[in-house]
Amino acid sequence: MVKARVIGISRHRLTTDGDGVTTLVAFNGCPLRCKYCLNSHCWDPERGKEYTPETLYEETKIDQLYFLATHGGVTFGGGEPLLQVDFIKEFRERCGTQWQLVAESSLNVPFENLEALDPILDGYIVDIKDMNPEIYQAYTGKDNVVVLKNLEWLLQHRDPNGIMVRVPHIPDFNTDEDVVKSMERLKEMGVKNFDEFNYIIR
């Protein structure tokens, strides 16, 4: 029985995670250690409530009417959702084809995970942090080699319109120029949808 720890479920989100009315399901667990992470309790393996795909479906389906009406569904975030391959696969089997399932991910996961989940996902929201490997390493504590490879694959394998790349201004880590450079590189790769924004430091 596949289980996963969920650190939070946020219902009735409007257009923050793609089309329509969505429910955000945030998983525990992330390979990164970002300095300004807003969900750092996802690094604690004990945090959150355990769900099976069945129990999560039971809980999220109360908003099914809104999902169907507005082309919405469930956005998986966290934490890193692409670490929960089997869970999300089974969830898709339960919820059917009409719910939009979107992954909000750093893409810093083994390619096999991405390859396995791609067929059942409807879209992606990728927070790229920064395209510069040094800046990325400084901010997240990991390198972004795998991120770039995964993103490249994604852009070739799918319609770029279904991929939203978020490019943050990270105080003390990147400058406005860095952000411009990141966006230019991403444009060259084929990214069509951008969300440029500012990180909030708590």
| Residues found near other proteins in the complex (CB under 8 A) | 6-17, 19-21, 24, 26, 37-39, 48-49, 62-66, 68-72, 77, 97-98, 104, 125, 195, 197-200
Asked whether the beta carbons of 100 and 22 are under 8 A apart, the reply is yes
Q: What count of residues does the chain have?
A: 202
Closest contact distance (angstroms) between CB of 106 and other proteins is: 12
For β-strands 123-127 and 163-169, DSSP reports them as parallel
Closest contact distance (angstroms) between CB of 197 and other proteins is: 5
Closest contact distance (angstroms) between CB of 82 and other proteins is: 15
Residue closer to other proteins, measured from CB, 68 or 155: 68
Closest contact distance (angstroms) between CB of 102 and other proteins is: 11
Residue closer to other proteins, measured from CB, 104 or 145: 104
Residue closer to other proteins, measured from CB, 11 or 94: 11
Question: Which pair of tokens denotes residue 103?
Answer: 């992954």
Residue closer to other proteins, measured from CB, 14 or 145: 14
User: Residue 49 forms beta bridges with which residues?
Assistant: 6
If DSSP states are collapsed to H, E and C, what string results for 161-201? HHEEEEEEECCCCCCHHHHHHHHHHHHHHCCCEEEEEECCC
Closest contact distance (angstroms) between CB of 195 and other proteins is: 5
- ∠ CA(138), CA(163), CA(108), 5° rounding? 35
φ/ψ (deg, to 5) at 20: 70, -170
Question: Which pair of tokens denotes residue 112?
Answer: 């096999």
Residue closer to other proteins, measured from CB, 77 or 151: 77
